[in-house]
Amino acid sequence: MEDVFKIAGRKIRSRFMLGTGKFPSDGSMAEAIKASGAHIVTVALRRVDSGAGSGNLLSHIPAGRIVMPNTSGARNAAEAVRIARLARAAGAGDWIKIEAIPDNRHLLPDNLETIKATEVLAREGFVVMPYFNPDLADARRLRDAGAASLMPLGAPIGTNKGVTTRELIKVLVSELDLPVVVDAGLGRPSHAAEAMELGAAAVLVNTAVAVSGDPSGMAEAFALAVKAGRKAWLAGAGAARELAEASSPLTGFLR
């Protein structure tokens, strides 16, 4: 049976989403996007420094991708909503990843503000993907507010620590019908595979790919790990046991 992945009714070609930050060059970013097979890639929005100018980032993103702006830099719902509206007015489409982050040290999101922004933007027709601290009650509030998916963090942004929230991710996967996209903190392909084995619908990675010695190679490694983890989830992993259980016959060889 074909394993179709949909968000907001739209078929998404890859369960691996890639952020565009921190790459050594626009060229290496473009190569990594191709190698990743990612269908959804994220971008951010910033003020242009007078005189320093601005380039055209979107021209470097290979064709056929959904470009999903994030609201990074927003500290609350009002700022996130403003960024989302601006991005859409600029022709970036309806997809928006909400980040409402008042804390610069840990970069942990504010769930309350995230829920408020989700409510406003979903009503305005955005496909809202909220980045949040994995919490069951808040996940239900996000669903009720109209979120198209849930983006719980695996670990704080850029920390490469892996799925430190694994028990909470499992709860979200089992309790909600929305796609769970584990975002942030995944430092290695094995982390991505772990998230998928837990039943995540997809993962979003940026730092681990962008700052590796070979971003394209790492993008491909993550893509393979995501596929492996997904297949393992669909196949159903055996439960862990305390004691050994022989996989060969237990009768003696010569008796």
Partner 1 sequence: MRIKLNGRDAEIKDGTTVAALLRGMKADPKSALVELNLKVLARAGWKRTALRNGDAVEVFSFVTGG
Residue that has been written with the tokens 């979903």 in this structure: 122
Q: Of 85-93, 111-119, 161-169, 212-220, which segment contacts partner 1 by CB under 8 A? A: 85-93
Binding range to partner 1, per CB under 8 A, among 7-15, 195-203, 204-212, 241-249: 204-212
**Which long-range contacts link 237-240 to residues 24+ away (Cβ below 8 Å)?**
237/197
Is the sign of the CA dihedral 40, 68, 140, 194 positive or negative? positive
Residue of 4, 52, 246, 254 that binds partner 1 (CB under 8 A): 52
Say how far apart CA 166 and CA 57 lie, in whole Å.
34
Strand partners, 96: 128
Binders of partner 1 among residues 154 to 193 (CB under 8 A) are 157, 184
How many other CB atoms are found less than 10 A from the CB of residue 113? 22
Q: How far is the CB of 141 from partner 1 (least distance, A)?
A: 24
CB of 40 or CB of 145, closer to partner 1 = 40
102, 110 contact by CB (below 8 A): yes
47 near partner 1, rule: CB under 8 A: yes
Q: Which stretch binds partner 1 (CB under 8 A): 4-12, 52-60, 172-180, 217-225?
A: 52-60
Paired sense of beta strands 6-7 and 10-11, if any? antiparallel
* Least separation in angstroms between CB 161 and partner 1: 15
3-state secondary structure at position 242: coil
Minimum CB–partner distance for residue 39 and partner 1 (Å): 16
Cite the DSSP H helix spans in 124-202.
136-145, 166-175, 189-197
Which residues are known to be catalytic? Answer: 97
Q: Is 90 in the site for partner 1 (CB under 8 A)?
A: yes
Q: In the complex, which residues of this chain contact partner 1 (CB under 8 A)?
A: 19-23, 29, 42-59, 69-70, 72, 85-87, 89-90, 92, 157, 184, 204, 206-207
